Chains A and B, each alone.
Chain A
Amino acid sequence: MKRFSKYVLLAAALVTGIASCVKDLDTVPLDKDEITSISVYENPASYIQVLAKVYAGLAVSGQQGPHGNPDISGIDEGFSTYLRQYWCAQELPTDEAVIAWNDGTLRDYQEMDWTASGEFIAAMYNRLYYQISLCNEFIRESADAKLDARGITGTDKTDIQGYRAEARFMRALSYYHALDMFGNVPFVTEEDGVGAFFPEQISRADLFAYIETELLEIEPLLPAPRTNQYGRADQAAVWSLLAKLYLNAEVYTGTAKNTECVTYCQRVIDAGFSLAPKYENNFLADNNTSPEIIFPVNFDGTFTKTWGGMTFIIHAAVGGNMVPGQFGIDGGWGGTRVTPTFVKKFYPDIEGNTVPGPVVSPKFIPKKTTYPVIYVPGSHQGWDPSNTSTVLASVNSDGKYEGYLNFAEAGTQFKFCDGPSWDVNYGDDGADGTLDRNGANIVATDAGYYKINVDLNALTYTFMKTDWGVIGSATADGWNSDQNMTFDAATGLWSVLIELKAGEIKFRANDGWDLNYGDDGANGNLEQNGANIAVPDAGTYTVTLKLGIPDYTYTIVRASYDRRAMFHTDGQNLEIQNPFAFTDGFAVTKFKNITSTGENGSDMTFVDTDFGLFRLADIYLMYAEAVLRGGTGSMTLALNLVNEIRTRAYTDESGNIAQGDLTLDFILDERARELYWEGCRRTDLIRFGKFSGGEYLWEWKGAAEKGTATDSHFDLFPIPVSDIGANPNLQQNAGYN
């Protein structure tokens, strides 16, 4: 009996001991950064954080910024972000961009010869479905029944129902991208759980219908335009996406829906957005203040860091001799440029490596950096002999000094000082034109702009009042008479706003040829009796003349030009012989990490600049296009909208077009000019039938330097081999097997 009890005890100990061991196997995460799904959704405050991840899915690469703990794998984390992949897929295969990097199959994008094995296409696809899965998870977990089961009621519940509608919008957005890029894709909704199953493939037309239905359903559930927090979707975002969907409906389904497109564009137009006063403000570090951006993807140099997204778009565009600091960044990555074909949307006649742009005059090259000077103190400047802005210079260091001074008042008195003090000073006793040491003040009777010459060897001087004008074959009266310039005392410059023809000009004083300047060697440095100055193109120009202290120079700047042509051309070649050389192809200066007031962003590596996924100017152009394509709408409004955009671009109405100019071809080019590098181009070219095939060529399309025809199957990207392998329900898009 005693022994028996021993064994009972032993057995009991065994059972207890083992049971306690086995129970240890039920573990929960210890890390405070990790919580279980159940505890997340029990807390009403967590929902907005999950929703924030849905939005952040477009921007960041993972849960650590700038990298670490990535969302998707199988590709370098910096490359893996949604926006970076979207940008590459929409821009690199088009005339708008080439990239100098030879990473993996990246070059296949610009050569339009990709296959289903390309890792960048796979990364885009994986991002889309990662985003869709995130949305599905949130939509599933925020269903009313689940909220009720968790006892979430009242405003918490109402708020979460709103979040849910936003998540549905975000899912529709990614499905729209899937529809546009991949066409026939796997279809999963919140009805499907998380786990091992094979989604069915949905046809492109059915997916179109699904997205349309979703958007129409959630439209009333979302806040009115411009009433949600910045960065979150509102009804205008829904309308914008509907408009895009309808504009491309014929591509997606075979049936055009232009009137629907017009309808939803009209709603956005009426929603209270307005064009930013300056085009470039949409692409700067404080573009969150732009009244034009309807739906942004947000970045921040401190709190939303990534190597993808805008960090990529801005850094990759800087290279060659561009100064990174001028873009608010610490260094360029030397990647992206534009093709010559694209440059010609702005400058149709550009040839060779001629630098186009607003400045027609040559770059000023000083002959020397410093010249010996004498000082001209007087009543015009408070009798200060050390004032270095009122001096005359000896260009040949021969004791002969000259320069221009503005005497604002009649009867201005002055003297000459050899050195910035009164120690050695000259006046003119008797006003006889010879200089006297410590002599009397010299007096200029009239107010005006004087040319002054002093010869300290001979102790003589002259001074003459001058008025300047532009003359030449480029001017309205040819070589017959001057076009007068006006002097601005604040800047010290003579200038005139003038219509010029292609031709030549010179500057001359006092309506005569005694004193005239031309430019020998076209180096920006003016010479007396110098060569005529060429004006290559007709246009409205601001011509300025800078005299004052030698050297004398001038600028001829186009007053009326398209300010959207934001290129860096110095050190770049227009033509692209080698796509992998950054200096082949013009660089683009559109996006910067600098605010509209010139301040740097909060960090020099990671940028503050947001990406405007939907922007009012896009809606304007979509309206015009949909009307041109036969949608029911106002042709007058269409023209006005386009001209509103162009007026902003030119800062005046000189670029406006007439009704007759408003054609579909014009729209396609205008979209390029207005929306380049904003992720629209591939879709646009496909809608116009100019993406694949041979009708429209650009450099390196089809891997040929001047471009070559490609097969039409490239209008859709292939479903990546990884998913074809993982999901037996999928059929590859035509042409990729």
Chain B
Amino acid sequence: MNRDSFSILGKLFLPVLILLFLSQSVFAQQVVTGTVKDAQSGEALIGASVSLKSDPTKGTITDVDGKFSLSVAQGQTLIFSYVGYVTQEYAIGQQTNISVLLDPSTEALAGVVVIGYGTQKKKDATGSVTAVSSKDFNRGSIVSPQQLLIGKASGVQITTGGGAPGEGATIRIRGGASMSASNDPLIVVDGIPLDNQGISGMRNSLNSINPNDIESFTILKDASATAIYGSRASNGVIIITTKKGVAGSKLKITYDGKVSLFTVPNSIDVLNADEYRTYYNEVYANNPNALSVLGTANTDWQSQILKSAFGHDHNLAATGSVKNMPYRASIGYSNSDGILLTSNMERYTGAISLDPTFLNNHLKININAKGMRENNRFASRGAIGSAIAFDPTQPVYTDSDRYGGYFEWLQADPTRPISIANLNPLSQLLTRYDVAGVNRFLGNVQVDYKFHFLPELRANLNVATDLSNSLGTINVADSVRQNYDIDADGNLIGGIDAEYKQQKKNELIDFYLNYVKEFGQSKLDIMGGYSWQHFYRKGNYFETNAAKTITNSDTDYESESYLVSFFGRLNYSLMDRYLLTFTLRDDGSSRFARENRWGLFPSAAFAWKIKEESFLKDVDVVSDLKLRLGYGVTGQQNITSGDYPYLARYTYSESTAQYQFGDGFVTTLRPEGYDANLKWEETSTYNVGLDYGFLDNKITGSLEYYYRFTKDLINTIPVPAGTNLTNQILTNVGNMVNQGVEFSVLGRIFSTEDLYWEVGYNVTFENNRITKLTATDDPNYKGVFVGYISGGVGNTMQIHSVGYPQYSYYVYEQVYGSDGKPIEGLYVDRNGDGVISADDKYMYHSPAPTVFMGLSTRLTYKNWDFALAGRANLGNYMYNNIDSGNGVNAYMYNTANYSTNVVQDALYTRWINPKYWSDYYIQDASFFKLDNVTLGYQFKNLASKKLDLYLSLTVMNALTITPYKGLDPEVYGGLDNNIYPRPRVFMFGVRLDY
């Protein structure tokens, strides 16, 4: 047994010990039986909770017929509750058989939401918590969980990385609180906080969770909600809860199938062959060398590599209950091609969830296991850039079988391609075989024990493991253009034979105790616990040429980190009107030196249910009103520079970076830069929120304002020269402020048996300012240059600068002629020194929208339903790198003797040399997108009433309205360059319920 598993057993031993030590006997009383039904439909409610008011830990749940049986003393009050219904109390007199009708409630306010280490009634929440459940998810051809949420919650922005199958997405909650460190929120799946490092061989590590298995997302936005996750909470928390079985329910089988057609919505406006010939002949009229390379073909390179594609997705789920053990099991299969040739994703998923209860409901066990196998083929995205730039007058294929028969640019000596010329885009895709397979297992066992001698006290143990295993290979033949190489004797020595592997093993043990007690008007809920998490990963990348005679790369890595935490929460409510929450977390991270390792993260929140006050109690128009105030401190330990940034380390050189001493080569040892004082980033958040409901909760929603101040920002900054073993170091420096207003409203316009229509809208106003950036305050210090573009080498377009939003564009102000056209190379001399130099650049807009909003509506009429979801971003600007990199004529002919295409903008500007830093290329990328339109019809009670059939038709990415000149206004980071086009998807869906 190795040291690791031994210590894990040691850690498990502790909470088990606690459970074993404590036991108590049970009291017996008279038995009351009854049924619980829906007050409107009269249908029996399965799994409704029945409990004693005086002792909420005693109770039961209704069975498959809505029946229950419970020992109750006379005069005691029973509480009946069920998700989505108004909770009812029932005082027991002489009766031994009662019938209870529960009224359906407005979900938003009565629901229970999952919070960190527990659940809470939404109406008792003091923090900023948004729940999005499966019925609100985006619909359509979705294989990535993130896509379910796009546009659904205020303050949450999700940008997919492009249109590849299973593409990942960037999630920003309230804009993110960090600069260099990760801005990704913490994602917690069934109580397991995941690492956010990604998995080799997958486009998106969250893909290991099948969207069909997800029950709900809970988004914790403000510090009073997230601080319980301490050092990982600064960027918000998303809790994903998967679907479970329902106690006492019958077997129910659901099949869900989708067939999708992915189409290419549009392409980048480059010159077609005739336009190109005309312009080329004009530009190079006096250059016979240039004219000699022009071809006679007419090739639309983009349509060569972007084609319509198909995908299908099948899911089979069974839920039910065996006695006291509800279960759910599901399998899924998904396979889609991307619209960029050769890209493909195939996924198998399986999930099992078991929730048995023992000891008269005192012991609940929850077991979740999710397994996944994903096979990917990756298409080289460089082919998109090549297709834009490839000369349209050249043919796709040649008569020669050299280079696989594809046309390629060759040196005068045809045994060598021109190394700096574009590759044939089609060859770039078809001759590269880049595949990966990933297995992942995510499992946990959660044991929840309610103490017999003290039912107010409950212990909860969660043990989880997250394993993944990736194997990828890349093969490129030595006879084709990419990676082509020959030695002096003419032998082929190029091509690629590469293999990469990764193993990840993350483990978690959480334990907490929870004590809930009511004292008259007061209610106290205290929770305290600890958590231990271990993150481990190991992998390598080995690359040789195709003949395996030359090793190009042989790297391996192995790393780990630990996080140990103690946490506690106190909820106090008075008269069910005044709610107070305090949380505290003490986190220790192995990524920092011993002295800086521990961080304390407190939060406090207060909520006032105004509606419960006497002056509002009888105002019918207001059905709900709650004010929330919160403050908290959270941290950020997800730094981007490895697991040992504080430690003095040395690194060996690879075999290709040795140095010659005499006749031999010496492997070198390099001291690494480090910051022994590196510590947590701290974010303080103030939050004011107002939850409202009007007209019997027909209109509900909330309004929030937040102010976030991040200090000790983990940022990569220049070190004072000579003081460290690097020129830039990750350290704690700088401050940043984020503030915003979020508003959401949900209106149920009709809510009758036949007609249901709701409209939801959310809007977020966001503002980000860097307030401090360096250790010293130098007014001449411009900032940190970021945002590398394509074109030239190492050119940056953005800056982090004090007083401006992060990632502001840093460019020259273009001068325009009287015809409104930009004049090449003419910029405004902003500092008035008579010359145009780098000092004339200025901050000009940023990629972040100042306002973004989501709009969705759902209409059900009898068996028909119709849903629509759209989004808008305003005030976001984009650097059009496609135009700036392909919009001038100087390089249409390269003296190495090949030609490249240009975009239509080149005909407009007629510029000669690249002018990357002209603000002409910074373009308004505000947009409205109609993300998805769905029409469905439900056939009920088919096949002797055993079967329901639901058919639907969905169009995704239906419409985009934008002033932006490029292909797609939505590119995370604001640098538009080689985006994988997002397809327009037409999907047909079938669901069968048995």
Contact = CB atoms under 8 A, between A and B. Distances in A.
B487 interface: yes
B941 to A, nearest CB: 56
B657 A725 contact: no
A26 interface: yes
Nearest to A69: B651
B40 to A, nearest CB: 51
A424 interface: no
Interface stretch (A115-123, A210-218, A408-416, A493-501): A115-123
A22 B728 CA distance: 31
Contacts of B665: 300, 303-304
A25 B589 contact: yes
Contacts of A349: none
B668 interface: yes
Contacts of A334: 420, 894-896
A74 interface: yes
Nearest to B915: A102
A117 B894 CA distance: 30
A134 B671 contact: yes
A721 interface: yes
Contacts of A328: 488
Nearest to A100: B895
B304 interface: no
B558 A31 contact: yes
A609 interface: no
B573 to A, nearest CB: 30
Given A37-B648, A231-B661, A571-B289, A74 B727 contact: yes
Interface in A13-71: 13-14, 16-18, 20-22, 24-38, 40, 46, 48-50, 52-53, 55-56, 59-60, 62-66, 68-69, 71
Contacts of B942: none
Interface in B670-707: 670-677
Given A188-B723, A727-B776, A27 B560 contact: yes
Interface stretch (B132-140, B834-842, B846-854, B872-880): B834-842
Interface string B639-652: 00001100111111
A306 B785 CA distance: 24
A657 to B, nearest CB: 38
Contacts of B655: 65, 303
B978 interface: no
Contacts of A75: 794
A17 B10 contact: yes
Nearest to A101: B792
A321 B538 CA distance: 48
B21 interface: yes
B725 interface: yes
A119 B659 contact: no
Interface in A299-344: 300, 302-306, 319-321, 323-325, 328, 330-334
A24 B562 contact: yes
Given A26-B590, A46-B669, A133-B722, A119 B794 contact: yes
Given A46-B669, A52-B659, A71-B726, A604 B837 contact: no
Interface stretch (B106-114, B227-235, B712-720): B712-720
B778 A117 contact: no
A52 B661 contact: yes
A700 interface: no
B621 interface: no
- Find the residue from B11, B419, B558 having the highest chain A CB count within 10 A: B419
B283 to A, nearest CB: 13
Given A21-B532, A74-B728, A324 B556 contact: no
Given A27-B561, A63-B657, A137 B894 contact: no
A13 B17 contact: yes
Given A230-B662, A580-B913, A305 B795 contact: no
Contacts of B668: 49-50, 52-53, 56, 63
Interface in A134-158: 134, 136-137
A26 B677 CA distance: 15
B723 A304 contact: no
Interface in A186-225: 186-188, 192, 194-199
B653 interface: yes
Contact of A330 (B18, B485, B534): B485
A130 interface: yes
Interface stretch (B251-259, B410-418, B429-437): B410-418
A585 B135 CA distance: 69
A288 B659 CA distance: 14
B732 to A, nearest CB: 10
B648 A113 contact: no
Nearest to A63: B653
Interface in B601-623: none
B968 to A, nearest CB: 27
Contacts of A86: none
Interface in B455-498: 485-488
A532 interface: no
Contact of A31 (B411, B559, B796): B559
Interface in B545-591: 553, 555-562, 564, 588-590
Nearest to A332: B896
B727 A72 contact: yes
A125 interface: yes
B148 to A, nearest CB: 35
Interface string A722-737: 1111111000000001
B7 interface: yes
B914 interface: yes
B589 A728 contact: no
A24 B792 contact: no
A24 B588 CA distance: 10
B556 A194 contact: no
A705 to B, nearest CB: 14
A324 B723 contact: no
A396 interface: no
Contacts of B661: 48, 52, 55, 229-232
A235 interface: no
A676 interface: no
B721 interface: yes
Interface string B822-849: 0000000000000101110000000000
Contacts of B487: 600, 604
Contact of B727 (A6, A24, A73, A105): A73
Contacts of B557: 31, 33
B914 A102 contact: yes
B794 A725 contact: no
Contact of B726 (A6, A17, A73, A115): A73
A132 B722 contact: yes
Given A29-B644, A37-B649, A600-B488, A79 B727 contact: no
Contacts of B1: none
A98 to B, nearest CB: 14
A652 interface: no
A33 B728 contact: no
Nearest to B588: A25
B192 to A, nearest CB: 17
B485 A10 contact: no
Given A20-B7, A21-B530, 14 more contacts: A10-B17, A21-B11, A37-B648, A46-B650, A63-B651, A74-B727, A74-B728, A76-B794, A102-B914, A195-B677, A304-B660, A581-B890, A581-B895, A604-B486
Interface of A: 6, 9-10, 13-14, 16-18, 20-22, 24-38, 40, 46, 48-50, 52-53, 55-56, 59-60, 62-66, 68-69, 71-76, 78-79, 101-105, 108, 113-119, 125-126, 128-130, 132-134, 136-137, 185-188, 192, 194-199, 229-232, 288, 298, 300, 302-306, 319-321, 323-325, 328, 330-334, 571, 580-583, 599-600, 604-605, 721-728, 737
* Nearest 9 interchain pairs by C-beta: A331-B419, A76-B794, A725-B781, A65-B656, A229-B662, A188-B722, A17-B14, A37-B648, A727-B720
6 contacts: A10-B18, A31-B556, A104-B792, A115-B838, A304-B657, A600-B487
